[in-house]
Each structure stands twice: as structure tokens, then as C-alpha cells.
Amino acid sequence: MGGKNIKMLIKKSSPLKVLKNIKIPFFLIGCHNDDKAPVSSIENMFYLHEENSFVRCWISEGRRHFDAIFINPEKYIYKIKKFIFDVIDGKIKHKKKKKIEIDPCIYQRNYQRTAHTNF
């Protein structure tokens, strides 16, 4: 940036408060075991959003924040492309407004299974 000072204004915001202003289709993606955006927060955003908006929500089997793309890149790319093309092609007019998909939390299950193992 050439060593120049850049003026910035950082404001505290709440995703739940900002959500009410979103009027275009959007896609929420979360991961199990995410410490930055817990599943409960993603679900709150999904359920509290207006009923008349097109919203997709996917809670992936990811192990931590932003892991959906790394744990299953093919599924991630498929879901993103499908969402974008459904919006562009106008297919969302004929689909359910709100849909949530929650993958099984395989890492938590594995952890619980091995946590009781005697070594």
C-alpha cells in the first residue's frame, strides 16, 4: 500500500441485526465444532430470517471454522454452484423458500466413541 495511512471505520455489528436488511437470496454455510460461528448461531440466523426470502443453510461435517471446503470440496463446490445457478436461472421461484441441511457430525461421534476406550 506504499506505506500510506488508510482511514478505516470499524463498527461493531450483529449478524442477527444485519440479517433483517438482506432481501436477496443467500446461503449460510456452517460447520460442526466451529468455535467462531457455532451451529446454534447459524441456525438462529436461518430461523430468524424473514419467511419470504430465499435462504439455504448447510451445516457441514467440517471439523472447525471454514472446513466445509476442505473436508468435502466436491460437495462444497456442487452446493455453491447449484445455489448460484438456481438463483440466476430463476429456479428459486418454484422452490421452497427456506431449506436447511445438516450433515451428521462424524467427528464428534468418533471422538465420543474413542473417548471411552481404555488404552
Ordered DSSP codes for 48-84:
HS-TTS-EEEEEE--SSTT-HHHH-HHHHHHHHHHHH
Q: How many folded domains does the chain comprise?
A: 1
pLDDT in tens, 5-50: 878 777 777 777 788 788 889 999 999 888 888 888 898 888 887 7
- Which candidate, 52, 45, 54, places its Cα nearest to that of 15? 45
Domain that holds residue 108: 24-115
Higher pLDDT, 26 or 2: 26
pLDDT value of position 3: 62
User: What is the model's pTM?
Assistant: 0.74
Give a yes or no: residue 48 inside a domain.
yes
Report d(CA 110, CA 105) in Å as an integer: 9
Give a yes or no: residue 14 inside a domain.
no
Characterize the bridge pairing of strands 55-60 and 98-102.
Answer: parallel
pLDDT in tens, 74-99: 999 999 999 999 999 999 998 989 99
Report d(CA 37, CA 82) in Å as an integer: 23
Give a yes or no: residue 7 inside a domain.
no
Give a yes or no: residue 104 inside a domain.
yes
